[in-house]
């Protein structure tokens, strides 16, 4: 039996990231947790590199690239711990980071998971796209964060140096109770990558858990390590998975209307891509829609199954307005401009 906390880094042909960041993670973690690399069938020599340099880092090997969702699901079957920390391979951490996150969950037994403050590794005074200071979701299923609305990230001026309940926590650095992860059946493998942590957090909420953010520690994330932010494949996964997650989990409102509204808003985004000269991204939005429609019968069955497991309908942190309207029509670019009264609060 190892530590009661395990830091698990998913790797797929990411030796360059491991060389840059694994020494920092090992040093900053020290005796606070086991450090494990879950390898997704890499062919770049990264496993041999780890084994030759870090005898105290365990490697769990998957035969093929199962994506973020499937890769973690499979690897965590072989990890014995009370708390998992899912950490991207392109993240720099600070000394004491594990006790800071674990202390938050120990003080808040109702919380299934939490995230730290996430700043950009390249611009260390700015929030990073993936997670920033805690995640939220709008009525149409579009995710956003304190510190990041669509493509705009805020400068960190201490405005989010606090602790609070959020709707979702980032998979770039996520501490989660093992019992909660297992009770929710882990990630949805079919998502492959992107938005799987939002889907997981939403399902955990439906089981009665809550999700938290603490600024007690800060991590620095490069972002887009496996798939760059300018990747058409990333566009496809984000638009496809957002519709899947919305369809599976939406409690309130008439689903067909929400889906039609989402298609319209996504088509506006595709038009914006075209106008800006990104035709490949516009094509991927259409491809995402076609895949979603082909899967709709299966998704509706899954939606029905999940409803039978519901114990809770508290959606603290859901934004009852359209964040796309607020950002692109009203010009609200920072979290503090959003309508405070439109956030669902606990109770």
pTM: 0.94
Q: How far apart are CA 143 and CA 72, in angstroms?
A: 22
Q: CB-based contacts of 228: which residues, under 8 Å, 6+ apart?
A: 234
Angle 289-290-292 (CA atoms, 0-180°, nearest 5)?
65
What does the block give as tokens for 74?
Answer: 């499979």
pLDDT at 97: 98
Cα dihedral sign, 285-289-295-298: positive
Are the C-beta atoms of 219 and 25 separated by less than 8 Å? no
Q: Counting beta carbons within 10 angstroms of the beta carbon of residue 341, is it exposed (0 to 12), middle (13 to 18) or buried (19 or more)?
A: exposed
- At 271 the three-state DSSP class reads helix
- How many CB atoms sit inside 10 A of residue 106's CB? 11
Q: From first to last of the 347 residues of the chain, give the pLDDT tens digit.
A: 346 999 999 999 999 999 999 999 999 999 999 999 999 999 999 999 999 999 999 999 999 999 999 999 999 999 999 999 999 999 999 999 999 999 999 999 999 999 999 999 999 999 999 999 999 999 999 999 999 999 899 999 999 999 999 999 999 999 999 999 999 999 999 998 889 999 999 999 999 999 999 999 999 999 854 444 578 998 999 999 999 999 999 877 788 999 999 999 999 999 999 999 999 999 999 999 999 999 999 999 999 999 888 887 677 889 999 999 999 999 999 999 999 999 987 75
As a 3-state breakdown, the chain gives helix, strand, coil percent values, each rounded to 5, of: 45, 20, 35
Topology annotation, domain 1-347: Spore Coat Polysaccharide Biosynthesis Protein SpsA; Chain A (3.90.550)
pLDDT at 2: 44
Q: Which is nearest to 171 in space by CA: 131, 221, 227, 111?
A: 131
What does the block give as tokens for 198?
Answer: 């939002």
Q: Which residues pair with 220 in a beta bridge?
A: 92, 119
pLDDT at 224: 56
Break the chain into its structural domains and give their ranges.
1-347
Are the C-beta atoms of 128 and 221 separated by less than 8 Å? yes
- At 189 the three-state DSSP class reads helix
Cα dihedral sign, 192-197-202-208: positive
Are the C-beta atoms of 111 and 105 separated by less than 8 Å? yes
Report the interhelical angle of 196-206 vs 232-249 (nearest 10°).
Answer: 10
What would you report as the CA-atom Rg of the chain, rounded to the nearest whole angstrom? 19
């Amino acid at each position: 039996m190892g530590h009661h906390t395990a830091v698990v880094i998913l790797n797929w042909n990411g030796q360059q990231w491991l060389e840059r960041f694994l020494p920092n993670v090992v040093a900053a973690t020290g005796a606070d947790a086991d450090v494990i690399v879950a390898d997704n069938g890499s062919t770049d020599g990264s496993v041999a590199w780890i084994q030759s340099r870090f005898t105290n880092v365990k490697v769990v090997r998957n035969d093929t690239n199962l994506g973020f969702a499937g890769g973690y699901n499979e690897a965590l079957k072989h990890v014995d711990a009370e708390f998992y920390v899912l950490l991207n391979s392109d993240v720099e951490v600070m000394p004491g980071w594990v006790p800071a996150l674990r202390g938050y969950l120990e003080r808040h037994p109702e919380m299934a998971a939490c995230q730290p403050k996430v700043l950009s590794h390249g611009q260390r005074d700015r929030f990073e796209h993936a997670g920033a200071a805690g995640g939220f979701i709008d009525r149409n299923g579009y995710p956003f964060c304190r510190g990041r609305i669509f493509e705009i990230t805020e400068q960190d001026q201490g405005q989010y140096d606090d602790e609070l309940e959020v709707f979702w926590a980032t998979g770039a650095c996520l501490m989660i109770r093992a019992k909660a992860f297992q009770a929710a059946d882990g990630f949805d493998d079919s998502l492959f990558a992107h938005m799987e942590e939002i889907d997981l957090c939403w399902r955990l909420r439906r089981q009665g858990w809550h999700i938290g953010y603490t600024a007690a520690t800060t991590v620095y994330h490069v972002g887009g390590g496996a798939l760059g932010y300018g990747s058409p494949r990333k566009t496809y996964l984000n638009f496809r998975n957002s519709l899947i997650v919305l369809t599976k989990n939406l409690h309130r409102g008439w689903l067909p209307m929400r889906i039609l509204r989402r298609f319209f808003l996504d088509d506006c985004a595709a038009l914006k891509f075209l106008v800006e000269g990104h035709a490949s991204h516009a094509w991927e939005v259409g491809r995402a829609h076609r895949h979603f429609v082909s899967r709709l019968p299966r998704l509706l069955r899954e939606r029905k199954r999940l409803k039978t497991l519901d114990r809770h309908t508290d959606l603290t942190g859901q934004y009852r307005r359209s964040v796309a309207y607020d950002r692109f029509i009203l010009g609200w670019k920072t979290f503090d401009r959003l309508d405070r009264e439109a956030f669902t609060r606990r109770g």
